[in-house]
Amino acid sequence: MQARRKIRLSLQRLAVNLFEGIFPSSTSGARGLELDEIREYQPGDDLRSIDWKTTVRARKLHVRVRLPDRRVPVLFLIDKSGSKRFGASKALKEDALFSVLSLLVAVAGEAGNPMGLIVFTDRVEWYFPPRLGQTQILRLLPRLKEKKTKSPLTDLDSAFSFVNGLNLPPSLIVILSDFLTAENYEVSLGALSKRHEIIPIVIKDKREEELPRAMGFLTVRDLESRELGFLDLASSLRQGLYYLDVFRRLGLDHIEMCTHESEEAMADELSAFFEKRARNRRAVRR
């Protein structure tokens, strides 16, 4: 699938960005595994990287730039609190979350990255350090999806603080959550982002933003606290989302995935998101 290849390339570019400044050697060259781009020759480029076909066609020297073979750890933070069992579309948020997760695990596995998992609610439920392979994790995911957690509540700060205490090497950290939780995690997420490459993926359902057009109130039950509440059907649900403010203040790019989308649409959106992000980071390095 073309979308999967684009996501894999973009993840590798993010890994290169993560290592920028850690190693004194160049982060790209002629002997990497994956082609990054073909561009005009610049002073100092390895002559062995010249792409002669492009050079002849463009009548200017061009070189092939490849991504270095740096397999950084990838850690997936999986929110399995009670709110993931909500869904007004054809799927629950939990279904969408695990569909996205399966795709990213397959893609990261193709690149040979060591991978780990943290499943959390208002505590860390299960932790698998970043050393598992693609096959191991893909077999593990259905069991994790069905396995009951100790708590239905959510606390992102608890999960982020746990990762901060692990002293991991610089890693790619993918957070899959609806980010509907206490507004207390900006400090711990900020500390995490100073060492690691953070990719927040917000799992949403359209009924969290769009209510049926009507006048009156709707009685609802919180899937986590089990408390009853009332929604004003004439009000807007998207005003003042805390996670949007936090991402903006910390400079984190994020993507929102919705339960009504097909897996193919999700793959295309992820591909576009990662490609844009990697391209922007690469431009900043230059």
Q: What is the pLDDT of residues 207-223, one digit of tens each?
A: 666 555 545 445 554 55
In the chain, what are the domains? 74-285 (3.40.50.410)
- On the 0-12 / 13-18 / 19+ scale of CB atoms within 10 A, 224 is buried
Position with higher pLDDT, 68 vs 258: 258
Residue 155 — left, alpha, or beta (φ > 0 → left; ψ -120 to 50 → alpha)?
beta
Q: What is the pLDDT of residues 176-185, one digit of tens each?
A: 999 988 899 9
Cα–Cα nearest to 81, from 182, 220, 164, 211: 182
Give 113-126 as a 3 state SS string. CCEEEEEECCCEEE
pLDDT at 263 over 90: no
Is 191:146 a contact under the CB 8 Å cutoff?
no
Average pLDDT of span 272-284: 71
Average pLDDT of span 138-159: 92
Average pLDDT of span 1-19: 64
At residue 254, the pLDDT reads 94
CA distance 264 to 279: 22
Cβ atoms within 10 Å, residue 226: 9
Name the one residue in this structure whose structure tokens are 């089990």.
226
pLDDT at 89 over 50: yes
Average pLDDT of span 79-97: 82
At residue 209, the pLDDT reads 63
Q: 34: pLDDT confidence band, cut at 50, 70 and 90?
A: low
Residues 6+ apart with CB under 8 A from 275: 6, 9, 10
pLDDT at 131 over 80: yes
Where would I find the H helices in 119-167? 134-146, 156-164
Cβ atoms within 10 Å, residue 265: 13
What are 232's strand-pairing partners?
A: 217
Cα–Cα nearest to 283, from 17, 11, 23, 9: 17
15-29, 38-52, 153-167, 189-203: least confident range: 15-29
pTM of the model: 0.73
At residue 25, the pLDDT reads 32
